[in-house]
Amino acid sequence: MKISLVIPAHNEESYIGSCIEHAIRNSKGKLHEIIVVDNASTDKTREVAESKGVKVVYEGKKGTNAARERGLKEATGDFVAFFDADTRMPDFWLEKAEEVFAARPKAVCLSGPYRYYDGSMWENMIMNTLWYLTAPLMYRIVGYMVLGGNFIVKREALLGIGGFDTSIGFYGDDTDIARSLSAAGKVVFRMDFFIYSSSRRLRKEGLTMPNIRYGMNFIWGVLFHRPFTKSSTDIRIK
Q: Which amino acid is at 119?
A: G
CA distance 86 to 163: 23
Contact 32, 77 (CB under 8 A): yes
What are the pLDDT digits (tens) for 17-68? Answer: 999 999 999 999 999 999 999 999 999 999 999 999 999 999 999 999 999 9
Question: Could you give all domains of the chain from N- to C-terminal order, each with its CATH number?
Answer: 3-224 (3.90.550.10)
What are the pLDDT digits (tens) for 9-27? Answer: 999 999 999 999 999 999 9
Angle at 185 between CA 143 and CA 179, to 5 degrees: 50
- In the sheet that holds 186-189, the strands lie side by side as 55-58, 31-38, 3-9, 79-83, 150-154, 107-111, 186-189
Strands annotated E in 124-207? 150-154, 186-189, 195-197
Contact 47, 69 (CB under 8 A): no
CB 106: neighbour CB atoms within 10 A?
Answer: 8
Classified as helix, coil or strand, 37 is: strand
Contact 174, 148 (CB under 8 A): yes
Please state, rounded to an integer, the average pLDDT across all residues of the chain: 91
CA distance 230 to 192: 32
Q: Would the pTM of this model clear 0.75, i.e. be above it?
A: yes
Q: Which residue has the higher pLDDT, 237 or 189?
A: 189
Q: Which of 107-111, 145-149, 170-174, 204-208 shows the lowest per-residue confidence on average (mean pLDDT)? A: 204-208
Paired sense of beta strands 186-189 and 87-88, if any: unpaired
- pLDDT-derived band at 236 (thresholds 50, 70, 90) equals very low
Angle at 129 between CA 123 and CA 133, to 5 degrees: 145
Provide the 8-state DSSP code for 205.
H
